[in-house]
Every structure is written in structure tokens, then in C-alpha cells.
Amino acid sequence: MTIHQLSIFLENTTGTLIQVLRHLKEAKVQLVSTTIADTAEYGILRIICSEPLRACEELKKAGVAVALSDVFALQIDNNPGAAADVVELFSRAGIGLTYIYTFLLRNKGILVFRTDKPELTAKTIEDNHLPTISEEELTV
Amino acid sequence: MIWNPNKECMSRDEMSALQGKRLHKIVDYVYHNVPFYRHKLQELDITPDDIQCIEDIHKLPFTTKKDLRDNYPFGLQAAPQSQIIRIHASSGTTGNPTIVGYTRKDIDIWSECMARCLTAYGVTREDIFSVSYGYGLFTGGLGAHNGVEKIGASVVPASTGNTEKHAKLIRDLGITGIACTPSYALYLAETMDKLGITKEQIKLRVGAFGAEPWTENMRQEIQQRLGLKGFNLYGLSEIMGPSVSYECQQQHGSHICEDHFYPEVINPVTLEPLPYGQTGELVFTTLTKEGMPVLRYRTRDLCSLMDGQCECGRTAVRMSRIEGRSDDMLIIRGINVFPSQVESVVLSMPEFAPRYMLIVDRGSNNLDTLQVQVELRQEYFTATFDTPAAIDELERKLANKLKSVLSIAAKVQLKAPNTIERSQGKSAHVIDKRKL
């Protein structure tokens, strides 16, 4: 139900992002999706990629402040309102989203998110038979 | 081993008597040879006859770095130029450098003190000793060099630069001792790694490290990587150069060559002398110097003094590690701030690496601002911290602690691991952008 995401602390200055991407390129890691939560001084770079465990080790070796986090990943239809319908379910269950981002994969919408109540989130996903997507499917 | 037990293990009473005698003589000497000191003493209504024992030192005026600059180049020189056989210049980052002239006797005493240091470290005439302080205007190179020759070891004047060649010489000549800055020692270790020279292939066993502040952690790292025992070597060109104090095998403080350099620790604000054990600004009076003697020179180094006989047999007063610099003291919105206060807070939080930078600026509203940059420790960045809210909370935690210690608010900026430069110089922890 959850997949691995790399979370990386980056200073908000020129050249910090490319350093990380270079390391991933050298390690032959395939990016699936990236997003940055930025502030004036720093950003948290979030990456979904192939072989996240190995990618994390490689970045650690290179001295990067990186952590593996477990995030939920759901498939949604590529239609207007599809995301709203899913988030509505969590909202009704009293679950707060810490962050969320979406991307398209093979014409399917992918919703990635973290919440403040992981157990209740998992239960809500199961009860509503929401289609999850595995790490392997993401990087095929 | 002790180079000169007669002086290094003197009874305290004998030492005080000798210091008192020498103090009277040096005051008399500068009174008659340095107009700067004569005027200062006259202003205080003191004549050399008022100085009869070492306790009388408290009557004397202080000398500051500014006094040395203002009297550039030879204003404080006491000996005639014909008696000066060497001139060193300190690395002044601002304003005039400090010029220090040495007579033949000064150089002899310097070598004697350096011989005491090396002998305490366990260096003998059987050693091959590499001096990797810079040779030149800086006192490190030639100062250490003379001491190695004095004890009869083979000196290799490697100086700095060409580190690869130096690393090979250390292996091929079987060099057993080295004098250099602690950061150069680490650089040397890195160079050896690059060249594939292992700890087992070299014979280094003694390191004399000084000329920049260093920590116990650095000592452990250097010792581990180079397979030697590292000793502190303290000195400053205004007083002599390296050899003012040195660690013995006990490594519990550095013994001061007290028969030549009289130490005091004062409160840097009130200038009152502090008792043993209390941290304050270190002050030295040269008791035997001919070229450029100084009375109560304020080193700006913060440390404490220890008395009591050392297990090694030496009786000289010992000084602690340098804990900071009193001229690092910043006045921010009227409050005195020492970088060492920030350091203690940063070190108390395991989330941060023991590196930091203070950036002081003045805003458009004419109010001073203090920013503290700290480095996140890689292993403490976990999934919990993958939102700005969590990072901000961590910054706030540090900011609150800083505020309670400093009494002024500081803005915390978190930096990525290994992005703050390692401290090289004496006030590398501070960037003051205020245009005053």
C-alpha cells in the first residue's frame, strides 16, 4: 500500500539540485516523479524512483542528507474530479494530508501522499477498495 | 623526558623569586629603551623601582595588538637594530602586520624553549623530524626548526606545499616526528590515502600541532589516521613564536615556559586578574626578551590556568586548551555575544554537526541582526523531517535555546551536511557585515 520515497534536504541555492541528480545518474537510478517543498532558504526534494533503497545508500555515501519515507500511492482515473473524490474520503474520515502530489503514468493518474494518521488511512483505502500501485509497477 | 629540569621543575618559591627579579629588570629595560612604555609608566606614575616582585605585575599597563600596530614597524623594539639578527612579521589580516625583531639571545631562548617542548613530546636526537609549518615571515617554521636542531634530531625542513612529495619522504626516510597545523595533518592523511600510503608503511610517532585552534576530536582523528601521538604546541609571534607552552605525556594542560613568559588570565571586560581555574583572556609578559619585550600583552585567547605539580614532574603553571577568542566578542544590539556561547548550544544538540557560522548584519531599520548557520547531521535527517514544518520546528528549538543563552534573538539557518567550511583561522566562525 505504501511505497518508498526519497526525501532530501537541499539548500535553496544554485547547484544543489544538480549535485543530487548527478549522483542518481551515476548510480543509474530512474526517476519516476519529483517534487520540491520549498522555502526561501531550503527545500525538501521528494523523489519516487527505481531501486529507492540502493539510491538512498548511494546518496548517503555521497554525504547527502537523505531519508527514506513511506508514502501512500494510489491509482486514479485521468478524469476531472478523480482526485477530489479520493481526498473527500480521507477528509470525511478526519485524516489530515501532510503533503500530496500527482503525476501521470501510462495515462493513469498517480496520487502520492503522506497523512497524519497512517493506520486510519490504510483502513480507509482498504474499506473503499481504492486501487493502490506497487513500487515495481511504478518503475516497469 | 625533561630537557631542562633545573628550570622546568623549579620549586614555586624559586620560580616566583626568579620571575620577580626578571620582571624588575625587564621593566627597567623597557623604561629606558622604549618611549611608548616610558610614557605609559609615567602616566601611571610608576618607575621601575616600584616593581620588585612578581605580584607587582598588576601595577603595570596592558599592551594590545592595537599598540603594536600603532607603533609599526619598530616603535616597540627595545634593542638597537645592530643587535637584531632576525625579523618576523605576523599574519595580520587587517591593518599593519606586527613586526617582531629578535636578538641572538632571543633566538637562543626560543630554541631552548622549543627544545623543552620537543623533549616533552618524547623527541630525541634519534628522531628524523619534519617541520611542516610555513618557513618565512611566519614564526612557525623557523621556530620549530631551531628547536629540532637544538636537541640534535635530524630536521627535514619540509615547510608547507608539495604535500605529495612530503608524504613520500615521510615513508621513504622513515620520518618519526612532524610539526604542523592540525588541519595540515589531516590534509596529509588524505594525501597519503590518495597515494595509497598506509599507516603501516610510515614511522610517524610524534606530532607537534598548533598555530590554530583544534579540538580533542581532531586529535583523535589525526592520531588514528597517522598512527602517532599528537601534542599541543602553543605560541604567538608577539611573545616569541611556537614554544610558549607545550603538553607533556600526561596531556593535562600545556606547561608554560614560565621563566621566560609570565602568564595571567584576566576578565576581558573589567581587566581584573582571575584566579586559577577561571576562564578569561590570557595575558603574557616576556621576562627575558631583548628585541621586542612586551608587558602584559593581551593575547585575546580565552583559557584558564592550572597550578600544582604535574605527574610528569614539571612544576610550571599549565594552560587549558584555547576555548575561544575574546576579540571574537561581538556587540549585537548592545549585548556581548561570544561565538563560544553559540558553540556550546550547537554542541548540545545531536541533530547538528559541531560547525557553525555567525552572520551579523544591520537591517534597513538600523537594527543589528544575528543569523546562526548550522549543519544538519546526515544521520539525523530521517523521514520525520521530510516536511518544512518539521525542519522549521527543529530550527525553532535551536533558536529558543540560543535566545536563552545569548539574551538576544538569532535567526537559525539550517545548512546541508558538510557545507560550512572547516574553521581555519582564528575568527572563521563570524562574518560581520555591518558597516560601522
pLDDT tens track for B272-286:
999 999 889 999 999
Q: B424 pLDDT exceeds 70?
A: no
Res. B362 pLDDT band, cuts 50 70 90: confident
Mean pLDDT on B328-333: 80
B419–chain A Cβ distance below 8 A for any pair: yes
Q: Does B378 touch chain A (CB under 8 A)?
A: yes
Q: Residue A42 CA to chain centroid, in angstroms?
A: 19
Question: Among residues A38, A68, A98, which one ends one of the domains?
Answer: A68
Min distance B378 CA to chain A CA atoms (Å): 5
Q: How far apart, in whole angstroms, are the C-alpha atoms of residue B251 and residue B178? A: 18
Say yes or no: A88 and A61 in one domain: no
A64 and A6, same structural domain? yes
Please check whether residue A54 lies inside any domain of the structure.
yes
Q: Does B359 touch chain A (CB under 8 A)?
A: no
- Select from A10, A63, A67 the Cβ nearest to the Cβ of B382: A67
Q: For residue A98, give the CATH number of its domain.
A: 3.30.2130.10
Residues A55 and A75 in one domain: no
pLDDT classification of B322: cutoffs 50, 70, 90: confident
Whether the CB of B417 is below 8 Å from some CB of chain A: the reply is yes
A67 contacts on B by Cβ (under 8 Å): 381-383, 385-386
Check pLDDT > 60 for residue B163.
yes
Confidence band (pLDDT; 50, 70, 90) for B422?
A: low
A58 neighbors A27 (Cβ within 8 angstroms): yes
Query: Looking at the complex, does the CB of residue B399 fall below 8 Å from at least one CB of chain A?
Result: no
Put simply, whether B393 touches A (Cβ < 8 Å) is: no
Model ipTM value:
0.85
Based on C-alpha coordinates, what's the Rg of chain A?
16
B416/A65 touch (CB, cutoff 8 Å), yes or no: yes
User: Would A63 be classed as within a structural domain?
Assistant: yes
Question: Which residue, of A31, A50, A68, is where some domain finishes?
Answer: A68
**Of B52-61, B357-366, B413-422, which has the strongest mean pLDDT?**
B52-61
Domain endpoint, select from A68, A96, A114: A68
Q: Closest approach of chain B CAs to the CA of A10, in angstroms? A: 6
Contacts of A63 in chain B (CB under 8 A): 378, 417-418
- Give the mean pLDDT of B3-14: 96
Task: Verify whether the Cβ–Cβ distance A65 to B378 is below 8 Å.
Answer: yes
Residue A75 counted as domain residue: yes
- For residues A8 and A46, state if they share a domain: yes
Share of chain B above pLDDT 90, in %: 72
What domains lie within chain B, and their CATH numbers? 1-325 (3.40.50.12780), 329-432 (3.30.300.30)
Its pTM stands at 0.67
Q: Tell me, yes or no, whether A35 and A62 share the same domain.
A: yes
Phi, psi of A128 (to 5 degrees): -100, 5
- pLDDT at residue B436, as a whole number: 59
Whether residues A14 and A46 share a domain: the answer is: yes
Q: Give me the residues of A, 81-100, that contact B with CB < 8 A.
A: 98-99
How close B394 comes to chain A (CA, Å)? 13
B382, B387, B413 ranked by CB distance to A41: nearest: B413
Encode pLDDT of B372-411 as tens digits: 999 999 889 998 888 999 999 999 999 999 998 888 899 9
Residues A14, A41 within the same domain: yes
Tabulate helix, strand, coil % of chain B (nearest 5).
35, 25, 40
Beta bridge partners of B44: none
- Residue A118 lies inside a defined structural domain of this protein: yes
For B155-162, the CB contacts below 8 A with 24+ separation are B155/B129, B155/B130, B155/B131, B156/B128, B156/B129, B156/B130, B156/B131, B157/B131, B158/B130, B158/B131, B158/B132, B159/B131, B159/B132, B159/B133, B159/B134, B159/B135, B160/B132, B160/B133, B160/B134, B160/B184
Please check whether residues A8 and A56 belong to one and the same domain: yes
CB contact under 8 A, A64 and B378: yes
B382 touches chain A (CB under 8 A): yes
* Any domain includes A103: yes
A9, B383: Cβ pair inside 8 Å? Answer: no
Q: Do residues A49 and A83 share a domain?
A: no
Same domain as A80, residue A55: no
**B contacts of A11 (beta carbons < 8 Å):** 415-416, 419
Residue B415: pLDDT above 50? yes
User: Stretch A111-116: mean pLDDT, rounded?
Assistant: 95
Domain that holds residue A64: 2-68
Q: Dump pLDDT digits (tens) for A28-67.
A: 999 999 999 999 999 999 999 999 999 999 999 999 999 9
pLDDT at B39 (0 to 100): 97
Residues A90 and A77 reside in one and the same domain: yes
Please give the tally of structural domains in chain A.
2
Answer whether residue B93 shows pLDDT above 70: no
Strand partners, B349: none
Q: What is residue B330's predicted lDDT score, i.e. its pLDDT?
A: 81
Question: Which of the pair, B213 or B249, is modelled with greater confidence?
Answer: B249
Please tell me which of the candidates B383, B392, B417 has its beta carbon nearest to residue A69. B383
Domain-embedded: residue A140: no
Looking at CA atoms only, how far is residue B361 from chain A in angstroms? 17
pLDDT of residue A106: 87
